[in-house]
Amino acid sequence: MAARKSTKKPNVSADELKTFYRDMLLIRRFEEKAGQLYGMGLIGGFCHLYIGQEAVVVGLEAAAEEGDKRITTYRDHGHMLACGMDPNGVMAELTGREGGYSRGKGGSMHMFSKEKHFYGGHGIVGANVPLGAGLAFADKYNENGRVTFTYFGDGAANQGQVYETFNMAALWQLPVIFVIENNQYAMGTSQKRSTSSPDIYTRGEAFGIPGEAVDGMDVLAVKEAGDKAVAHCRSGKGPYILEIKTYRYRGHSMSDPAKYRTREEVQKMRDEKDAIEHVRDLLLSGNHATEDSLKAIDKEIKEIVNASAEFAKESPVPGADELWTDIYADAAPQNA
Partner 1 sequence: MATEILMPALSPTMEEGTLAKWLVKEGDSVKSGDILAEIETDKATMEFEAVDEGVIGKILIDEGTEGVKVNTAIAVLLEEGESADDIESAAAPASAPEEQEAPAPKAAPAQAKAPDAPKADTSPDWPEGTEMVSTTVREALRDAMAEEMRSDEDVYLMGEEVAEYQGAYKISQGLLDEFGAKRVIDTPITEHGFAGIGVGAAFGGLRPIVEFMTWNFGMQAIDQIINSAAKTLYMSGGQMGCPIVFRGPNGAAARVGAQHSQDYAAWYAQIPGLKVVQPYSAACAKGLLKQAIRDPNPVVFLENEILYGRSFEVPKMDDFTIPFGKAKIWREGSDVTIVSFGIGMTYALEAADKLAEDGISAEVIDLRTLRPLDYDTVIASVMKTNRCVTVEEGWPVASIGNHISASLMERAFDYLDAPVINCTGKDVPMPYAANLEKLALTSVDEVLDAVRQVTYR
Query: CB within 8 A of 335, min separation 6: which ones?
Result: none
**Per-residue DSSP letters for 104-137?**
TSS-TT---BTTTTEEEE--STTTHHHHHHHHHH
Q: Does 307 bind partner 1 (CB under 8 A)?
A: no
The binder of partner 1 chosen from 91, 219, 222, 254 (CB under 8 A): 254
Q: Does 106 bind partner 1 (CB under 8 A)?
A: yes
In contact, 60 and 180? CB cutoff 8 Å: no
H/E run at residue 70: strand 69-72
Helix residue ranges, H only, the chain: 14-39, 54-61, 77-82, 87-94, 128-142, 160-171, 191-194, 219-234, 263-273, 275-285, 291-314
Beta bridge partners of 214: 4, 244
The binder of partner 1 chosen from 167, 189, 194, 202 (CB under 8 A): 167
User: Tell me, what DSSP letter sits at residue 66?
Assistant: T
Helix, strand or coil, per DSSP, at residue 47:
coil
Report, in Å, the least distance between residue 308 CB and partner 1: 14
In the sheet that 69-72 helps form, which strands lie side by side, from edge to edge?
118-121, 69-72, 148-153, 176-182, 240-245, 211-215
Could you give the CA distance from residue 158 to residue 243 in angstroms, rounded to a whole number? 14
Could you give the CA distance from residue 68 to residue 60 in angstroms, rounded to a whole number? 11
The binder of partner 1 chosen from 22, 234, 273, 313 (CB under 8 A): 313
The binder of partner 1 chosen from 5, 67, 141, 286 (CB under 8 A): 141
Q: Does 113 bind partner 1 (CB under 8 A)?
A: yes
Phi, psi of 283 (to 5 degrees): -65, -45
Report the residue number, 254 or 304, with the smaller CB distance to partner 1.
254
The residues in 55-74 that bind partner 1, with binding defined as CB under 8 A, are: 69, 71
Q: Give the total of residues touching partner 1 (CB under 8 A).
A: 84
Report, in Å, the least distance between residue 160 CB and partner 1: 7
The binder of partner 1 chosen from 77, 203, 250, 252 (CB under 8 A): 250
The binder of partner 1 chosen from 22, 35, 207, 212 (CB under 8 A): 35
Report the residue number, 67 or 198, with the smaller CB distance to partner 1.
67
Report the residue number, 19 or 249, with the smaller CB distance to partner 1.
249
User: Tell me, what DSSP letter sits at residue 73?
Assistant: -
The residues in 170-199 that bind partner 1, with binding defined as CB under 8 A, are: 171
Report the residue number, 104 or 216, with the smaller CB distance to partner 1.
104
The binder of partner 1 chosen from 59, 78, 87, 134 (CB under 8 A): 134
Q: Does 255 bind partner 1 (CB under 8 A)?
A: yes
Report the residue number, 16 or 159, with the smaller CB distance to partner 1.
159
Q: Does 256 bind partner 1 (CB under 8 A)?
A: yes
Report, in Å, the least distance between residue 203 CB and partner 1: 15
Report, in Å, the least distance between residue 335 CB and partner 1: 5
Q: Does 287 bind partner 1 (CB under 8 A)?
A: no
